[in-house]
Amino acid sequence: MSVTAEERARLTSERDQIRDKYLAPREQRPASAARGIHHTALISGDVQRSVEFYQNILGFPLTEMFENRDLAGSTHFFFDVGHGNALAFFDLPGVDVGDYAEVFGGLHHLAISVTPENWRAARERLDAAGVPYQLESETSIYLRDPDGARVELISDQLGEMYGHPVG
């Protein structure tokens, strides 16, 4: 799917109008009502495989595991992704989730900030494990986790993307 030059110009104009209306200069923005992302929850097709991937390959320690309160027998488990943030998973035994389909409001990808040193180490572990990925510049690696979720490891500072503030 691609857009025509005319459609792109219209979309650019629309984006500019939204930015002009809602994006206040950094020094004029009110403080956020949020404290941060407590956790983002994804679905795991295999608990052990997810733990091995996220802890052993990506380097995010498993921090907690218990039965999911919403589905008997289901496991809810968490990984430390830094700054008090967690990446959580549920497995859904007995539930047919069907094939993946990109939907509006669905997860496009999860971008996790890592130091340049941890970025290089994760890349080496991905290579050693034979996990395919897409290298985007020297700051981003895009990959799919064992269940197909798109993950980006980005070595830019938190609050920045490609040298520009985003937070």
pLDDT (tens digit per residue) in 115-138: 999 999 999 999 999 999 999 888
pLDDT at 107 exceeding the cut of 70: yes
Phi, psi of 5 (to 5 degrees): -60, -40
Contact between residue 59 and residue 85 where contact means Cβ atoms under 8 Å apart: no
pLDDT at 160 exceeding the cut of 70: yes
For the chain, how big is the Rg over CA atoms in Å? 19
93 Cβ contact partners less than 8 Å away, ≥ 6 residues apart: 71, 73, 74
Place of tokens 């999911």: 68
Whether residue 112 is contained in a domain is answered as yes
Whether residue 15 is contained in a domain is answered as no
pTM: 0.80
Whether residue 149 is contained in a domain is answered as yes
pLDDT at position 144: 95
Whether residue 154 is contained in a domain is answered as yes
Whether residue 8 is contained in a domain is answered as no
Distance between CA atoms of 111 and 136, rounded to whole angstroms? Answer: 13
Distance between CA atoms of 75 and 65, rounded to whole angstroms? Answer: 7
Task: Tell me the pLDDT tens digit for each residue of 5-39.
Answer: 999 999 999 999 999 999 999 899 998 887 778 78
* Other CB atoms within 10 A of residue 142 CB: 16
Contact between residue 167 and residue 155 where contact means Cβ atoms under 8 Å apart: no
- Domain interval for residue 137: 36-93+106-165
Number of structural domains found in the chain: 1
Q: From residue 107, give the alpha-carbon distance in Å to each of 16, 60, 70, 84.
A: 25, 20, 21, 21
pLDDT at position 100: 64
Whether residue 44 is contained in a domain is answered as yes
CATH number at 54 reads 3.10.180.10
44 Cβ contact partners less than 8 Å away, ≥ 6 residues apart: 50, 75, 77, 89, 90, 91, 147
Whether residue 124 is contained in a domain is answered as yes
